[in-house]
Amino acid sequence: MGAALLLTGAAVTGLRGQAPTTFIVESPTMTTGRFMPRDYSPDGRNLSPPLTWSGLPAGTRQVAVISQDFGAGRPPPWVHWIIYNIPGDAGGLPEGIPFDPDHPMPAEIAGAVQGNNGWGLPAYRGPAPPLGSVHNYHFAVFALDEALDLPPGLDRGELLLAIEGHVIGQGDMVPLYERQPMNQFPR
């Protein structure tokens, strides 16, 4: 099934076997190595977080995103979110992508669809690690050289297989999350 199915944190097979170009992935509300806000977890509002990216390689036609926890799952990673068919000229994802697949995507990412997460749902579901356990949440963003127009509901393996050979760039952001007893959350 290819090297792309093993890890998305490592090199994914790119166009003609070349390593993908690296680009910047950020968020106005999260940072790599820092704790993400509770609103992006089931402890809060369980909203999908906003992401931005810059420096996509020339020729980017579509973007795909996978959010996963390599410290969970049997086998790891546990997938929290998959979204793809994102237009190549989109600068990111807004906060709060619709949970219900019947609701339209925001205009700036019209045509995007969600894949099935680890719960088998085509939606974002935030982190909920065991109490007292810090987990890393890896947001991998892939720049693709072709508008693949993939069907909704692909799982991680299906998406990685479909984009193999089309990845011309990859960026990553890895915030943390730790659950706290409810009385310890700020009000």
State pLDDT tens for residues 124-182: 999 999 998 999 999 999 999 999 999 999 999 999 999 999 999 999 999 999 997 76
Neighbours of 185 (CB within 10 A): 11
**For residue 19, what pLDDT is reported?**
82
- Looking at residue 182, what is its pLDDT? 66
- pTM higher than 0.85 for the full model? yes
Order of strands across the sheet that contains 51-54 = 24-26, 51-54, 92-93
- Domain 3-8+16-181, CATH among 3.40.50.620, 3.90.280.10, 3.60.150.10, 2.60.40.10: 3.90.280.10
What pLDDT is attached to residue 180? 78
